[in-house]
Structure 1
């Protein structure tokens, strides 16, 4: 029952993270009005292009997810979906209007009226070689097709990494972690991602060469790689603390993905 509960939590968190972060422009900031308690909402999509920078820093503030995707480009396109709430439509519209996006230095939102009933989610297109520092509070983090030094964190939100490389470190407290890798080995110094409450899914090719560290305290662990399955005790029972470290296909840069409360699944794609 406990494992089922964690698996269910993992599924829900990833569904919401994917829905919030994997949308294209047309669905990124829909204009639907919806309520938040007795409040109504308003939203606005902002776009701005800035020059390429050695380090892209995004502060998601209190509410909002961050999605970054690498492309063959020489500049950075920032899309910001600003949403705010108010007792009536006029107040909601005013709150949106009073929310500004700062793109000088740290990318972050500021509400000039001091209203905290707003959220800003980011969809950012960057050159494939870009260093990132991403911080969120209530929102997921998604990074795709980017190589570089990356550091990210969120408190309440899932993490999704796909086709990334470099020196990548990140964490979430309440959210699932999904990592999808390709090629025959990691390009860079390594990957280190952890969550406290959420499941972990790692997908990599069968010939991927790496030193893998993974595990969970409260949850199941299943792997398509024999070297990464946990050891049973003499009575053929799984050990409670399921931590696994092993080299696969001769070893390589370290890939670490761990959780405390949640299941772990390692797929061979």
Structure 2
């Protein structure tokens, strides 16, 4: 009778530890059906990787160049989890499959990047979905692909050439740009937690959603476009056709938005109401 009692004691001791383990969010990236033609076939596969989180002060670098997008989401775990979606195309499906197999993904030195075995950049691309501990600094690079960042705090730098950028519930020191693409930002909480952000696009619109009660200072400028703002009555602002300076609450961290060829829209609901992301 001693052994069953001892086993039950072990289970009882282990249960609280198991309960503290955060659930792993499910990856959202998956291969889609492609409309193959007689001349072109596309093959897709996913690869899941786990690597240690970078130490404080060291960014996790994700490079999706030449053809690929990046999605980063913060989670309560202590490791970095990556899903790489590898796509390749060729005249024959077997050749496309072989091309995808030749793509090598490196994760050394807290850098995630891919390369084809023979060095060619043609006819293949890798997109990344990355789950990181919430407090993780990032350095993200893409060329032909969009960026999406959610629930991350740290020193964040990003750049893409042809792709839109979505920033949701971020904090820290965030700076980045896209050349041909729009920017969408959703702020949360009572204020920006950190230094602030400075984001810009060359050819694209910007939309920023601010909570009804917030504390920060925002500057928005466009060269060839218009600035539109729908702000809570208590928000102090100076709105001109191509610029906006707004002080939310008592002010605070500096938030900067800029575009050259595009419009800017800043939305803030009145106190007591809410604004659903992406909705008027």
**TM-score category of the 2 structures, normalised to the smaller one:** 0.7 to 0.9
Q: CA separation in 2, counterparts of 1:97 and 1:169?
A: 35
Q: Deviations over 1:17-50 (max 9, x none)?
A: xxxxxxx635x22242334893210011000110
With CA pairs under 8 Å and 6+ residues apart, which has the higher RCO, 1 or 2?
1
Structure 1: tracts of 5 or more residues without a match: 1-23, 232-237
Taking structure 2 as the reference length, the TM-score comes to 0.80
Q: CA separation in 1, counterparts of 2:38 and 2:183?
A: 30
Corresponding residue for residue 108 of structure 1: 113
In the TM superposition, 1:15-164 aligns within 5 A as 25=27, 28-35=29-36, 38-54=39-55, 55-105=59-109, 106-115=111-120, 116-164=122-170
Structure 2: tracts of 5 or more residues without a match: 1-25, 269-274, 276-280
Contact 1:141 1:158 in 2 (8 A): yes
Corresponding residue for residue 12 of structure 2: none
Distance 1:60 1:194, change over 3 A: same
Contact 1:223 1:229 in 2 (8 A): no
Q: Return 159-168 or 54-63, whichever deviates more.
A: 54-63
Corresponding residue for residue 206 of structure 2: 200
Corresponding residue for residue 252 of structure 2: 252
Structure 1 position 215, deviation (Å)? 1.9
Q: CA separation in 2, counterparts of 1:136 and 1:154?
A: 5
Larger of the two Rg values belongs to structure: 2
SS at match of 1:252: coil
The CA RMSD measured in Å over matched residues stands at: 1.6
SS at match of 1:92: helix
Q: CA separation in 2, counterparts of 1:221 and 1:151?
A: 25
